[in-house]
Amino acid sequence: MPRCLIVPIRLMLWTVFITISVIAGIAFGPFLLPLISDTRKTDMANQQLIAYGKELLINTPYFLGPNGRIAKISNGMSCGNCHLDAGTRSFGNSFFATASTYPKYRARSGTVETVEKRINDCFERSLNGQGLDPGSKEMKALVAYIHSVGNSATPEMRENALIKPPEFLDRPASKEAGKLAYKNKCSGCHGENGQGLFDTNSDKWVNPPIWGENSYNNGAGFYRVSLLAGFIKATMPFGAVNGATQLSNEEAWDIAAYINSMPRPEMQLNDDWPEISQKPFDYPYGPYSDNFTQEEHKYGPFKPILQAQQARVKK
């Protein structure tokens, strides 16, 4: 092709390209640009909500404690006192399995529960306070954070989300032995009287109170000795990790028994476990569908109770 024709052809092609681009922009721009913009805005807003949820979980008292900037609805403990590493530590009461299992039926309430209901259970029981408004920004942020943790979890992480009781003893958990073990292994962080360590500068518990008026109430999951013993065994003294634990099975059971024998706030539990045959083996309040005493249900030995429950299921 003669060189004199190349430049005009190029100019013509550029003219066609620019014309098509302008027409496309006019025709589709109003649809495409908001779509891209809205997607980015939505993603940014969601990330901000997740970040706020994590902040609420770590610094619960700042926002929602006795002197909370948002509301005064809890006892001053943080969600992170029970859900270690902001709910991301295996065997540390993590959120790895939450997103994949809720909503679900829970025998304690006898209903299908949402994540929001489960969060408010923690506020009312473990934080001995009041539930959040399910439609509040704070509730939405906590749900978003919990889902973000669960959505990034592997199957192995989800399997390790549950607290597993230590190997069962052939005797009751001993409050007396637990008192001695607590003094030697726990009092350095949580105090001789279970009062914890409070930092007035940050207005939060560095080490949470584990009995007394500022601790979890008798409706909390940790008031079941098996759950507390499993948590203690896997994570305490602080810094212990599953696979490199520092307490024996006996120490974990006995310390849990001692802690839960001490005074703490109480809540009304009449509506819990409407089907009494579904009560856990270590639920500390009757009536029961078996012949074991309340003392046995609270402290054990638990093997005979479990065997009786299994036999009843087989019938």
pLDDT in tens, 190-243: 999 999 999 988 888 999 999 999 999 999 999 999 999 999 999 999 877 767
* Closest C-alpha among 278, 280, 274 to residue 297: 280
Other beta carbons within 10 angstroms of residue 164's beta carbon come to 15
Q: How high is the pLDDT of residue 207?
A: 95
* Closest C-alpha among 173, 287, 285, 272 to residue 230: 173
| Fold match between domain 7-162 and domain 163-315 | yes
Where do runs of H (alpha helix) occur along 112-186? 115-124, 137-151, 155-159, 175-185
Bridge partners (DSSP) listed for residue 106: 111
Domain ranges of the chain: 7-162, 163-315
Q: How high is the pLDDT of residue 25?
A: 43
Supply the CATH classification number for the domain 163-315: 1.10.760.10
Q: What is the pLDDT of residues 55-102, one digit of tens each?
A: 999 999 999 999 999 999 999 999 999 999 999 998 999 999 998 999
Q: What is the DSSP letter of 279?
A: S
Of the candidate CATH numbers 3.40.50.300, 1.10.760.10, 3.10.580.10, 3.30.499.10, the domain formed by 7-162 belongs to 1.10.760.10
